[in-house]
Structure 1
């Protein structure tokens, strides 16, 4: 897979968009022409009419991913930081500040703020009273809804779809890109040709990527008839890797060297190990491992903050008071910063919200202190991140084995690059260095410069520095369970179901083995076909053999496990996802009407999100329609007979005409 754009001459502007869980942003590079670039005074003139050539520069912006929709409307009322403010003004009118006479949108650039008054009419003309009841919906963490590996996530208002919500946000980003181009370069942004790179988590399915693609079309970022030329959707770890390498050219990588990306954001912490490779002189990367901190940072902070509330203010717990969701968001936004001033500013907001919702403690001047937040919330999150990094290092060591002795490869990582907003914490960086310094050559554990922008900047760099992914790896562990999916595992009733013995070779298939076989828990056994982080190999079929009996094994569940390392033998329902159920109600008549077992052979071939399944039983060969690993309601797939016998249609109508198995 080659990640690169068309020839640069086709585009005037290259844009990288990071649609994040808590914060989103963009980075632009304006392609220079052969003529002289515009003069500085022209570049800084708003709505300048000159249309000369462009100076190459990386433009980057970042703001909250929140959206505020008015009641019963689908159009965004506020977005970004203004959406959070609008929601506060509605929910806590006694603490809100006076409305500004000229609303503005703020999109931060690193630690600075860039303010534009040239905003869309639905924001600029906002003069309505914000004290009405049930005024609207604050929509945030929308990205979590697109990640199949995350179990607990917020719901969208019923009137919104994922495509609509994401497209409304992308439309706002598009507007800010146009303002930036117009302001800095004095050109009409509508006359320029754009190439967009949108970054997504490596764990996203094809289904989620298509939703992002459709949202880009709906937002008018790209044209539907030209989407394949104008838009590339790439993995966030790859973009971060390209940027990290570009900022650390003093580290000389050679073929076979490995390094880790630790992309620690305010909501999610994703890890990836890559290996340097080359194909016909083209630089490339092999995917070695992918992992993530689970649950998400926000879920961890929610739980830790509830514990802190109960410890610090036990009387609230007795009253059954729930945690205001805004307090968690405020803490999450700034928890990773090392500036005590930033944390104190965050605490002022938290304490203000708590006072507004609990009048009985209004006179308490300081409910929480910076040290409490650091000790009770930030430090435990860091410990979980360290454990996840350790797990990824162990996994990558076990994947590469020498041909001589088949032992784990003990070579060290060449580097660990730390990116993302939370990754800018010096405390987190120091802890990673302290814990894993001996695992990395020359202690190359680096907090990447401007790492908070690594993904969006790396996306832009990919256009002029194309990179090939020479090896893809599986994002999930796939296997089967010999029963239909259930909400709760069946309880043990002392009976033995003797239809579910999985075997590996025909020589073990004997009725005596079957008669002495399994307990009820065997129904829940997870029989693995392919493991997470295994390389994707085309046209490779994996075979399993199992006992089959018509009255007891009517369906098989194909399931996926998202965790790292070896999956549990008997997973709980909440630990795995059902991908699809397979109809195994084969009609096989015995000449002698015997009740002996049949051997069912089931073969599967796996791509990233696509699974092909075929098999045989007795003298029947069959296959299933191609499976796509999608979220949503699961159906039972029917089997399709391969090379059906003559008169097969009549056989379905008249059972006595069906083929019989050998006696």
Structure 2
């Protein structure tokens, strides 16, 4: 199956018409020359990558596009189940696990939980959009318990799969291994340590993970530019479908098996009307285009591969020592990526490996996580998290414009960053940060959560690098016997050890959930 997800929309229409391979076939029809074929839209959830992307056409927004994908993928899964061994399937009676965009699923049995994988580098807002899209797709309902949908990071899922394969790699208690999850859009890296306890083997995240948008779609983009340069004198006569057929040959045949040594050959489609053309200047002879190993390396592979190797180098430096590096994901199975990683790191790491069916490592690891969510014992936050508060004013440090004089004459400093979570410090997966506040009945309590990606603890919420993550509101419940204006004690509990941020409030001994509105500025 083609690794890229395609979605077809008619001109000026937000309603999805075709999905998957059928969408590609629709675009071949002459009547659809002005229609819209969307692909690689996952990148719109990466705030950094999306800055360089044009707005989605047809007035679409990314949550709608992803909901369209999930709705159709879910329907496809249900159809396959009904066609196969689950003929008596009823909605909600089975648990299945899948990655967001690689199209794989596994049926486990009569449960109702959905487990969906997301890149570890995604922001809290991007993960929130994914949850909203699942809800919009109708896979879960608005009144369902939050745990109906569980998110897991892609490299963490891959780590669970690779840990299961550790017996053949002879990894033991205390050993560390790196997951390099190289997919279509993103590359995520995290280092885990194996902990063998009386409860079995567990995994502990031991470095702050890194990620970047340097996946295999960036190889495709560079290849497209190379072909456009080669055929610049012929582009006016080449049908779009013929050019896409050449790109398909690259994606399906050349990209996975290219090793940096052998030249590669593209058979030009007959629709290009160039099947007998010879042009030595571009490597074309009798309708066959020769792509030398040297130009593929310099023009297509090396610029992207170098970004991946830089990420691996930084993680290796943070971990001090590693026993293994596992390359997983569709891009992770690239022969050239493996060769370059082996050249660069084999002298320092005992094992560099692509595990069996490495392209399925994330999906299979998600199944393992769904069966045993406690197998990962700790995670390392990538940000400082905190809220806006006032603290004692320090005349030596604090700006005078932040000074507040209280009714009792004391000086307070506004815009102070009150830390909830320290960046880079391990958190147990069930870690809960509690702080006590008070509100006046019956008014709700509102608070803004901030995050910072910097080495030193930020002092102010207005400091450079500090961004708003979310505003959350805690509705005040009906409290019999409490008068209007009366002070009510409450405890705000934030869970940062999970993949998604979770906020709760305890009022009069009862726990209440919150409504989080994620800020578009958050990165």
Q: TM tier, shorter chain?
A: 0.5 to 0.7
Deviations 1:311-364 (A, max 9, x none): x568799xxxx9x99589644565531169x99686646994999xxxxx9998
SS in 2 for 1:285: strand
| Equivalence for 1:455 | 362
How far did residue 227 of structure 1 move? 4.7
Report what 1:550 is aligned to. Answer: none
Instruction: Specify the alignment match of 1:97 in structure 2.
Output: none
Counterpart for residue 415 of structure 1: 324
Is 1:179 matched with 2:79? Answer: yes
Residue 312 of structure 2, aligned match among 389, 398, 405: 389
Secondary structure at the residue paired with 1:185? coil
Residue matched to 2:406? none
| 1:125-172 deviation per Cα after TM superposition (whole angstroms, max 9, x unaligned) | xxxxx42552x2112222112223434335323433333221221122
Tell me how far apart the structure 1 counterparts of residues 361 and 61 of structure 2 sit (CA, whole Å): 29
Q: Which residue of 2 aligns with 1:54?
A: none
Q: Does 2:131 correspond to 1:213?
A: yes
Partner of 2:109: none
Confirm or deny: 8 A CA contact 2:258 2:334 kept in the other structure. Answer: no
Contact preservation (8 Å) 2:382, 2:424: yes
- Given that 1:74 and 1:160 are in contact with CA atoms closer than 8 Å, whether structure 2 keeps it comes out as yes
* Residues 423, 451 of structure 1: 8 Å contact kept: yes
Say whether residues 1:365 and 2:287 are aligned partners. yes
Is the Cα contact below 8 Å between 1:610 and 1:627 reproduced in 2? no
Superposition map of 1:192-591 within 5 A: 193-195=93-95, 196-277=114-195, 281=199, 283-288=201-206, 289-299=208-218, 302-303=221-222, 306=225, 310=229, 312=230, 330=248, 331=250, 335-338=254-257, 348=268, 352=272, 365-366=287-288, 369=291, 371=293, 372-397=295-320, 412-440=321-349, 443-476=350-383, 533-536=424-427, 560-561=452-453, 578-579=467-468
Residues 607 and 347 of structure 1, relative CA distance in 2, 3 Å threshold = farther
Could you say what secondary structure the match of 1:467 adopts? helix
Return closer, same or farther for 1:191/1:270 CA change in 2, 3 Å cut-off: closer
Aligned 8 A contact 1:276 1:285 in 2: yes
Q: Structure 2 stretches of 5 or more lacking a match?
A: 96-113, 276-281, 387-392, 400-416, 436-449, 457-463, 471-493, 504-513
Alpha carbons of 1:254 and 1:316: their partners in 2 closer, same or farther (altered >3 Å)?
A: same
Identify which range, 292-301 or 77-86, moves more after superposition: 292-301
State the aligned residue count. Answer: 406
Contact 1:286–1:470 (CA under 8 A) maintained in structure 2: yes
Q: TM-score, normalised by structure 2?
A: 0.63
Tell me how far apart the structure 2 counterparts of residues 328 and 475 of structure 1 sit (CA, whole Å). Answer: 40
Give the aligned partner of residue 64 of structure 1.
4
Q: Does the Cα contact within 8 Å between 2:121 and 2:188 map onto a contact in 1?
A: no
Tell me how far 1:203 sits from its aligned partner: 2.2
Q: Which ranges of structure 1 fall in alignment gaps of 5 or more residues?
A: 1-60, 91-129, 356-360, 398-411, 480-504, 512-526, 542-557, 568-574, 582-604, 613-625, 635-663
- CA distance 1:76–1:533, change in 2 (3 Å): same
CA distance in 2, matches of 1:439, 1:147: 32
Contact 2:157-2:363 within 8 A present in 1 as well = yes
CA distance change for structure 1 residues 383 and 510 in 2, over 3 Å: closer, same or farther? closer
Match of 1:156 among 48, 53, 56: 56
Tell me the CA shift for residue 419 of structure 1. Answer: 0.8
Q: What does the per-residue CA deviation read over 1:498-519, in whole Å, with 9 as the maximum and x for residues that have no partner?
A: xxxxxxx9797699xxxxxxxx
Secondary structure class of the residue paired with 1:64: coil
CA distance in 2 between counterparts of 1:416 and 1:74 reads 43
